[in-house]
Amino acid sequence: METVIQTRNLHKTFYTGEVPVHALKGIDLKVPEGQFVVILGPSGSGKSTLLNILGGMDIPTEGEFIYRGTPLQQMNKHDLTMFRRNAVGFIFQFYNLMPNLTAFENVALAAELTDTPLDSGEVLAEIGLADRKEHFPAQLSGGEQQRVAIARAIAKNPDILLCDEPTGALDYQTGKQVLNYLHKINRERGKTLLVITHNAAIGKMADRVINLKDGRIDRIEENANPVTADEVSW
């Protein structure tokens, strides 16, 4: 399988406060196409910083991120914009939907920015929201809002899906449902999937679990027999 995501000696230091914060201290990573990777680690270990760099929303202080053989540093502004628009689907903990747009409009707006979008209505139907299309985010439950956010990411037809604590704000059953959707998209559409979580049990669903600790990879576990969310409990 082709390597989709590669990092070499990735460092990130924030100089915003009085003392520099070394959020990432040399991350070396290779993720092949279609892999489901779970990123675990305590709060402040650098998980979001890593995902934001992989999503083209932040840049490393040192080292490189290579997407399908091309270092992002070599991309010009236009290429970078195209990378963010076409290659990456990002899912956040708190959904980040536009409150004044309907579920359908939230999905369609993101899809419109990309080169090879899927049909927004079909994606919403597939995720079980056919009858919620005309609702505004405030009229939807947390789980429904997160499904809209997933539909928004999927409708872009991205190469990689990056999820930062996608179930962090959801109750147990709803969280499981959302994980099942992500798992299904990974398996059926072959999308490379990276999920940040606090929940070690979710690691059982992944092909690989990366444990971050204080800005470094502490441990990597390969999982020969990943299971579905229904087979995991926490």
> Residue numbers of the site for Mg ion (CB under 5 A)?
47-48
Question: Minimal distance in Å, beta carbon 165 to ligand ADP?
Answer: 8
Task: Show Cβ contacts of residue 73 under 8 Å, excluding neighbours closer than 6 positions.
Answer: 59, 64
Q: Which amino acid makes up residue 152?
A: R
Q: Does 74 interact with ligand ADP (rule: CB under 6 A)?
A: no
Pick what 116 binds: Mg ion, ligand ADP, none; C-beta below 5 to 8 Å, kind-dependent: none
Q: Does 43 interact with ligand ADP (rule: CB under 6 A)?
A: yes
Smaller CB distance to ligand ADP: residue 2 or 18? 18
Question: Minimal distance in Å, beta carbon 93 to ligand ADP?
Answer: 10
Pick what 16 binds: ligand ADP, Mg ion, none; C-beta below 5 to 8 Å, kind-dependent: ligand ADP
Whether the Cβ atoms of residue 160 and residue 3 lie closer than 8 Å to each other: no
Smaller CB distance to ligand ADP: residue 133 or 208? 208
Smaller CB distance to ligand ADP: residue 49 or 114? 49
Rounded CA separation 58/68 (Å): 18
Sheet holding 3-14, edge to edge: 21-32, 3-14, 62-67, 70-71
Question: Minimal distance in Å, beta carbon 85 to Mg ion?
Answer: 23
Q: Does 41 interact with ligand ADP (rule: CB under 6 A)?
A: yes
Rounded CA separation 189/77 (Å): 29
DSSP assignment of 137-199 equals: GGGS-HHHHHHHHHHHHHHT--SEEEEESTTTTS-HHHHHHHHHHHHHHHHHH--EEEEE-S-
β pairing state of 70-71 and 62-67: antiparallel
Pick what 146 binds: Mg ion, ligand ADP, none; C-beta below 5 to 8 Å, kind-dependent: none
Smaller CB distance to ligand ADP: residue 17 or 69? 17
Whether the Cβ atoms of residue 148 and residue 107 lie closer than 8 Å to each other: yes
Residues 1-20 that bind ligand ADP (CB under 6 A): 14, 16
Question: Minimal distance in Å, beta carbon 199 to ligand ADP?
Answer: 13
Rounded CA separation 192/186 (Å): 6
Which of 23, 87, 148, 160 lies at the binding interface for ligand ADP (CB under 6 A)?
A: 23
Residues within the interface to ligand ADP (CB under 6 A): 14, 16, 21, 23, 41, 43-49
